[in-house]
Structures are given as structure tokens and as C-alpha cells.
Amino acid sequence: MGIEIERKFLLCDESWRPSGDGVLYRQGYLSVDAGRSVRIRIAGERSTLTIKGKSRGMTRHEFEYEIPRRDAIHMLDRLCLKPLIEKKRYRIEVAGLCWEVDEFFGVNAGLVLAEVELEHPDQEIPLPAWIGEEVTDDPRYYNASLVKQPFSTW
């Protein structure tokens, strides 16, 4: 059984921005309710189906499976709730941890979030200088929530 443990933060400045390119993501949701979400994602050349359970603080169950690209495109275009999530993800190594910074586009343009996955909930992490307010417990910042209430409507 997969468990995801992550913390999520806003950014306080642009000093995080790497010189290299990130990976384009296009994702949508087949289901978004209080107890679970079912996501279809195309990230670069990889296409996945992901099932996530209800968040309990910074932890939740997560299961991810590769699927054929043509199936992912079909589901994103015809079955997923709209709007789709469009973003570019940058991976930044800091003090042995991989930070994922998502820069959103479309109806969520202007939103930039950083996430870090942890091995256990009590794990101490050094925060990079570009990290701002923690929003781990604010459901508005969940990607599944951004489908129902995009950042541009806040």
C-alpha cells in the first residue's frame, strides 16, 4: 500500500527558478470528492492513473499506475472534469531533498507551489530561502480543488 507524506508551500520570491527547463504536465480528474480523487496525468512522455485517499494532515494513501498515452489523452479530453490542470514542474535538489515547484497556467496562472515528499511525518526539513507560507493543510491548494475552484476565481 502506498502512503504519500508531503508538505506544500507558497514561494516568497523568484530565487528558486532554475536555469533549465521543467516538465510540462497536463492532468485531469475523473473523481474529486472528500474521500478520494482519481487523476489522469501526462507528464512529459509518461502517462499515469493515480488514486489518492483522503488527506489526513500531510499523509494520504496513494496508488499510481502507468497507462497507455492514447488512453490518457482520450480520458483527459473526454472524461475528466474541466478545467484541466496545466503546469510546468521543476525539480530542485536542496540539502538532499527533492523539492517540486509547480508553476500553473490557464485558469490557475499566477499560482506557484513547492512540495517536498517526506519519509515520515516528523521528518525535519531545512527550508530553502525561497519558501514562504506553508499551505499543507489548506485544501484550496490541492490540485483536485483547483479544478472545482481555479486560482483565478479566488
Whether 25 sits among the annotated catalytic residues: the reply is no
What are 123's three cell numbers?
A: 521528518
Q: How far apart are the first and last CA of the chain?
A: 35
Backbone angles phi, psi at 19, to 5 degrees: -80, -20
Q: Which residue in the list 25, 29, 65, 142 is annotated as catalytic? A: 29
Largest CA distance in the chain: 42
Which positions are catalytic? 29
